Amino acid sequence: MENQHEFGPWNKNPLNVGGEKDVLSNIMNISILNFKLDQNLTVIWANDDFYKNINYTKKEFESIFGDLYHYYKDYPKDFTVLSGNLLSNYEKGEASVQVTVRLPLKDKGFKWFRITATVTESEEHDVPIVYAVFSDVTDMVDKYKKTAKVCREKANSFEFMMEEYAGNIYISDMDNYELLYLNRTACETLKQPASSMVGRKCYEVIQGRTSPCPFCTNDIINDKEFYEWEFDNPVLERTFMIKNRIINWEGRRARLELSYDMYSTEYKLAKKDKEREVILRTLPGGFVRLDARDYETILWYGADFLNLIGYSEEEFETKLKSKCGYVHPDDYKKIIPVLDELKETNGSTVTEIRIIRSDGSIKNLTMTLCYVSEKDSWDGIPSFYSLGMDVTEERMEQERQRIALEDAYQTAKVANEAKTNFLSSMSHDIRTPMNAIMGMAAIAKMNTNEPDKVRDCLNKINISSKHLLSLINEVLDMSKIESGKINLMLEKIDLSELVENVADICKPLVAEKNQQLKMSVGRVRHEKVIADGDRLQQVLLNLMSNAIKYTPEGGTITFRINELSSAIDNLGQYEFIFIDNGIGMAEDFIPHIFEPFSRAEDSRISKIQGTGLGMAITDNIVRMMNGIIEVQSTLGVGSKFVVSVPMEIQNEEEMCDEELVGLPVLVVDDDQIVCENASALLDELGMRGYWVLSGQEAILSVINAHERRDDFFAVILDWKMPEMDGLETLKAIRKNLGDDVPIIIISAYDYSEIEEEFLEAGADAFLSKPLFKSKMLHVLQLFCTHSNLISSEYEEKNDADLSNKKVLLAEDNDLNREIAIELLQMEGIEVDSVENGKRAVEMFEASAVGDYGAILMDIQMPVMNGYDATKDIRSLNRVDAKTVPIIALTANAFATDVGKARSVGMNEHVAKPINVKHLIKVLQRWMG
């Protein structure tokens, strides 16, 4: 044995020769030791950090120790633990082990280290090799020892207190019911020593039962608080007041039980406390005892006090420090003099205060206060006893009634003033046209021999009569609305026709004041709706005529219509916007604009006729239609009115004319909003919408399209544009391209005076703004036949040869795919086919650039539909991804389906069943 412990030759690790392992481990700042798993744990190699941790140099360690056996000569138990664990795990076939041992230091003493070791076989050595990593856990072990010491001291203190406790205490295991501890009083009560009871079942010893007591095994017992109950013990022939709680007793889940019997003073006091609690629970509110020495500390509380202030018992003690900080600060200041007076008079009173609950809400309390002096107090502390009752709801109801009465009074007052103002206003407004009628009638009567004079008088009488009639109509409308006698008459209406009627009525007024009228339609997908057409027209006319009326000569008025997204099926949300750069309104008048008979005080409008009822009527009608009207206005800048109303949609969708699908149309207008909206509507129709903002750009676009052999099917051209107006642009287009392209003139104004001039210059049709989808579709369909004749002539001259061209066909239906392949191959076209959109994307991505002349894409396919496949192809990072023609093949021919195909990047739309001639013409156009 002695020879085995001798210092043997030092084993060099080959890896250490170059120092790579040493350098790497030192960089990582970890201690590493490599040794044999022999009897003495012979050391092979260690890094610098290991030596540094034990305060030895490498040379010192090598000269003194050759193995861990000699290193641990003063700590043999640690060596035994380390070697024993390593050998045991190795024999079990476990390669890794973790163990915590001491490492002796050079200058006496030691450090605790956590060793993580791995045992491996070695061809170089005749025994297994151990690689060990050392982690310093000295601080952790010291902390653990200190904690363990504190726990032992606490346990001893706890046991001492239990021994001195006046009542009975016993502790039993929650799982097997064995008694773990009994205090001195419990042993006296049971008349047995603790040694004869510990380890036996608690229910046998205490109650004489053969099975557990149901009171001790219920779910109510927990480790957060005591569960209290009374029990009549038949064995001991007395009643006990018992408290149970779950605790940890020496690592075991145990039940702690405290109890007093019926003969003890503590039992009698507890019974009195219960009686007091029952009495307090009958009180309607919370009960407190306030310390009269500082007016802050709550000495005691009961009844519903905690629920009243919204705090738990723990929150009251920790957050409020058992003080009356829940009382509103303002009310606390007011109540101090009251408490002072009670203290002096030894009296009582009733008052009302506000409290702030834990959630920040405020409650009103009616509170009684009664002072008990130091001399009369049972514990010698002067106190205020107080009962608080929640009267928040009563006070809220009183406040609501007060506000309602005040509002009713103000409403009656305003109504009375409004009637007075109305009578005054109407007296003036009605007298004005009446005086004009009577005066003009008298003048005409005196000038019967002068026809021109009489004619002028009659015209003025006619104007005044119409104004008088409008005043009477507005008064009657308002009267019907206020009495509830007006009803909405729902009917099928066409928004394009209704808006055109409004525009036609207002155009003369706009022309008279030389104003500029801009009208545009946003993404209105459903033009046919169900609503009260007359009332809706009345709203739009009121707002439009007001904009014209209060905008000076030469001003600008904008009218826009939008259809917003709606979450409810068959219900559209429509928006009508009126913007002007007129006189505007003062900010303080805007809240009153919809009040009857209200008019802004402005010298600029004093001569403008009106009753002040128009906006009130408009607002009422809009609200009756479940809509809203919003106003923005700045004095001297202009106003903006936005009417939003929901309307039921007629389920009639515009069908796309197949001949129009994919045809390009150019929109020319200096208003970008008009251009963008019109182009979007054209895209929805399945056409290709393009737009420019000037005549010069229009001419360049038309010429470039012609040179690309992609002529515009039609040009929609605005009449009034800056620099180069519609007439000049029309003449320039005709000069460059002749009469082949249909040109449609659009305008928000009456074009009757210039119609002949435009027709002579080559205009083909006229459209009134705003541009609804149905109106554009109707006009464009008129040119389909004309365009087809030109197209067929062009095709006869340019019949492209499709032989040797290659297409990719995506079609999930086997029969449809077979038919399409056969028809295309008959034209000499080479076809690659796939069964879904995902395969189409993969096939195109794998092909060479320019390999496919076109892609024929079915829409409804499994795995990936045609829309998503098109998006993915267009997003590929290759030259032809954006340019390869993609043609939709689908049975859906609605305008929205065509528009969706165009929006995802498809170039053309061919409806099923496939017309072979049409498909070939489409392919010739895109592949020729």
The per-residue DSSP string of 45-79 comes to EE-HHHHHHTT--HHHHHHH-SBHHHHTTT-HHHH
Q: Is residue 857 part of a domain?
A: yes
Same domain, 86 and 173: no
Is the per-residue pLDDT at 232 higher than 60? yes
- Report the C-alpha gap between 709 and 403 in whole angstroms: 76
- Report the C-alpha gap between 193 and 345 in whole angstroms: 61
Same domain, 291 and 381: yes
| Close Cβ partners of 602 (under 8 Å, ≥ 6 residues apart) | 583
- Report the C-alpha gap between 926 and 277 in whole angstroms: 93
Query: What is residue 498's three-state secondary structure?
Result: helix
Is the per-residue pLDDT at 468 higher than 90? no
User: 362: closest CA among 329, 319, 338, 334?
Assistant: 329
Pairing of strands 383-390, 516-521: unpaired
Kindly state the percentage of the chain with pLDDT values over 90. 20
User: 673: closest CA among 559, 553, 833, 528?
Assistant: 559
| Residue 154 token pair | 């606490």
Query: What is residue 320's three-state secondary structure?
Result: coil
Phi, then psi, of 886 in degrees rounded to 5: -120, 120
- Report the C-alpha gap between 196 and 193 in whole angstroms: 6
Same domain, 277 and 266: no
- Amino acid at the residue 682: L
Contact at 8 Å (CB) between 580 and 566? no
Q: What is the mean pLDDT of the chain?
A: 81
Last residue of a domain, one of 365, 396, 427: 396
What's the whole-number mean pLDDT along residues 386-399? 86
Q: Is residue 853 part of a domain?
A: yes
Higher pLDDT, 12 or 770: 770
The per-residue DSSP string of 833-876 comes to EESSHHHHHHHHHHSPTT--SEEEEESS-SSS-HHHHHHHHHTS
Look at phi and psi of residue 261 and say left if phi exceeds 0, alpha if psi is from -120 to 50, else beta.
Answer: beta
Contact at 8 Å (CB) between 719 and 671? no
pLDDT at residue 466, rounded to an integer: 66
Phi, then psi, of 892 in degrees rounded to 5: -85, 120
Contact at 8 Å (CB) between 474 and 617? yes
- Domain tally for the chain? 6
- Report the C-alpha gap between 305 and 307 in whole angstroms: 6
Same domain, 763 and 816: no
Q: Is residue 472 part of a domain?
A: no
Which of 84-88, 212-216, 358-362 comes out lowest in average pLDDT? 212-216
pLDDT digits (tens, 9 = 90+) for 60-109: 888 888 899 999 998 999 999 999 999 988 888 888 899 999 999 988 88
Longest dimension (CA), the chain: 158
pLDDT at residue 428, rounded to an integer: 53
User: 228: closest CA among 243, 214, 247, 246?
Assistant: 243
| Residue 312 token pair | 């738990």
Phi, then psi, of 687 in degrees rounded to 5: -90, 180
Same domain, 609 and 496: yes
Same domain, 515 and 573: yes
Is the per-residue pLDDT at 29 higher than 90? no
Distances (CA, A) of 271 to 215, 302, 476: 20, 16, 80
Same domain, 327 and 359: yes
Cis status of the peptide bond prior to 770, with omega within 30 of 0 = yes
Same domain, 753 and 873: no
pLDDT at residue 906, rounded to an integer: 87
**Which letter, b or e, does each residue of 694-718 get, where b requires 16 or more Cβ atoms within 10 Å of its Cβ?**
bbeebbebbeebeeeeebbbbbbbb
Which of 16-20, 27-31, 698-702, 907-911 comes out lowest in average pLDDT? 16-20
Q: Is residue 467 part of a domain?
A: no
Is the per-residue pLDDT at 788 higher than 50? no
Same domain, 501 and 606: yes
Give residue 268's pLDDT band: very low, low, confident or very high (50, 70, 90): low
- Tally of CB atoms within 10 A around 59: 9
- Amino acid at the residue 809: L
- Report the C-alpha gap between 130 and 604 in whole angstroms: 102
Query: Residue written as tokens 């003025």?
Result: 460
Contact at 8 Å (CB) between 451 and 465? no
Q: Is residue 302 part of a domain?
A: yes
- Report the C-alpha gap between 386 and 390 in whole angstroms: 13
Here the CATH number for the domain that contains residue 280 is 3.30.450.20
- Report the C-alpha gap between 864 and 856 in whole angstroms: 15
Same domain, 675 and 645: no
Which of 78-92, 198-212, 500-514, 559-573 comes out lowest in average pLDDT? 500-514
pLDDT digits (tens, 9 = 90+) for 772-785: 888 888 888 877 74
What's the whole-number mean pLDDT along residues 164-192? 87
Distances (CA, A) of 117 to 377, 527, 800: 73, 81, 81
Beta bridge partners of 634: 638
Here the CATH number for the domain that contains residue 901 is 3.40.50.2300
Q: Is residue 22 part of a domain?
A: yes
Kindly state the percentage of the chain with pLDDT values over 70. 83
Q: Which domain holds residue 49?
A: 18-137
- Report the C-alpha gap between 543 and 561 in whole angstroms: 14
Beta bridge partners of 854: 807
Distances (CA, A) of 384 to 305, 308, 551, 734: 15, 19, 73, 102
Q: Is residue 419 part of a domain?
A: no
In eight-state DSSP terms, residue 201 is B
| Residue 120 token pair | 């491996």
Is the per-residue pLDDT at 260 higher than 70? yes
Is the per-residue pLDDT at 642 higher than 60? yes
Same domain, 523 and 582: yes
End-to-end CA distance of the chain: 101
Last residue of a domain, one of 362, 379, 396: 396
| Residue 756 token pair | 């002949």
| Close Cβ partners of 784 (under 8 Å, ≥ 6 residues apart) | 657, 659, 660
Same domain, 830 and 770: no
Polymer length in residues for the chain: 928
Q: Is residue 468 part of a domain?
A: no
Query: Residue written as tokens 């360690």?
Result: 61
- Report the C-alpha gap between 478 and 484 in whole angstroms: 10
Higher pLDDT, 41 or 434: 41
HSE-up of 839 (CA within 13 Å, CB side)? 14
Last residue of a domain, one of 100, 118, 137: 137
